Amino acid sequence: MDSYATAAQVYVAGLVFARVGAMVMLMPGIGDDSVPPRIRLSFALLMALLLTPLVQNTVGGVPTSVGGLWGQVIHEILIGLMIGSVLKLFFTAMSTAGEVISMQTTLSFAQTTNPSMGQSSTAVATFLSMLGLTLIMATDLHHLFIGAIVKSYDLFPFSRAVPVNDAATLAVRTVADSFSLGVQLAAPVIVFSLVFNLAVGLVGRVMPAFQIFFVASPLSVILGLSLLALSLGGIAMVWTDRYRDLLLIFN
């Protein structure tokens, strides 16, 4: 083994792979369930091999005990999970917007498999999730993912303890911001639904014998989806800017 790599080099590479692997498993796009695990592991291994020479001078000596070794590995995994989880949680803003739009346009019953979430969701939520993933790749935001992996060794060096309290606060704030952004993205359809339902209710009171359900349901779907189509450009720009701001925190 010494003819290929020393014990210290193998130790550093293992620590780097632990952090990078945890981040890659949760990153949007690369970490989706639709991506085969071998591809994700291969990407994480390649990144670890590239980063090991850059950070090997910041790592201390190899621990002399098994407990110290596992402590360092768990430390790196926790940091990787923390960063990857924040990036994954904010990505759910598009799914939240899709779910809200589906409820407002009576399309909640149209369920389909969401490749990015690994579970069933409404067709509109799946479409917006795929739109968000496409925007990440089209606007080169995935380059900031790689930058976040590299920069994490400056923000959270090997010798620094895992900031558990800060990580919990950041996770809670990310979930709140993600839900808030999802509702904001769906705001045009929410306003339309409110006005439309008030108008339908008024018509129903004025004309009790009129079969309002058979008229209102198709109109709600057609007008709601038309409004969604008109607002897609604004949704894409707002979400991309907010996600870029989040990624810049780790770069």
Residue 75: the pLDDT is 87
- The pLDDT value recorded for residue 31 is 77
Q: Which of 162, 144, 152 is nearest to 51 (CA)?
A: 152
CA distances 157 to 6, 71, 150, 188, Å, are: 22, 15, 11, 44
Q: Has residue 71 been placed in a domain?
A: yes
Alpha helices in 25-140 (DSSP H): 37-55, 66-91, 93-104, 123-138
Burial bucket for residue 105 (CB in 10 Å: 0-12, 13-18, 19+): buried
pLDDT tier, 115 (very low <50, low <70, confident <90, very high otherwise) = low
Q: Which two tokens stand for residue 79?
A: 């940091």
In a domain, 186, yes or no: yes
Can you give the residue range of the structural domain that contains 35? Answer: 7-249
Using pLDDT thresholds of 50, 70 and 90, give the confidence band for residue 117: low
* % of the chain residues with pLDDT over 70: 94
| Angstrom distance (rounded) from CA 172 to CA 182 | 15
- Residue 74: inside a domain: yes
Which pLDDT band, with edges at 50, 70 and 90, does 116 fall under? Answer: low
**Dihedral, CA of residue 121, residue 123, residue 124 and residue 125, to nearest 10:** 20
Ranges 74-88, 114-128, 181-195: which has the least confidence: 114-128
Q: Mean pLDDT across the stretch 37-56?
A: 86
Could you tell me the sign of the dihedral formed by the alpha carbons of 114, 118, 120, 121, in that order? Answer: negative
The confidence score (pLDDT) of residue 39 equals 87
Judged on CB neighbours under 10 Å (0-12, 13-18, 19+), 153 is middle
C-alpha to C-alpha distance for 243 and 195, rounded to whole angstroms: 31
Pick the closest to residue 148 from 49, 12, 47 (CA basis): 47
Q: Which of 177, 218, 204, 210 is nearest to 91 (CA)?
A: 177
Flag whether 2 is in a domain.
no
Classify residue 43: in a domain, yes or no. Answer: yes
**Residue 182 resides in a domain:** yes
In a domain, 67, yes or no: yes
Q: Rounded to two decimals, what is the model's pTM?
A: 0.81
How many structural domains does the chain have? Answer: 1
Q: How far is CA 178 from CA 120, 121, 184, 212, 235, in A?
A: 20, 17, 10, 36, 14
Residue 38 belongs to some domain of the structure:
yes
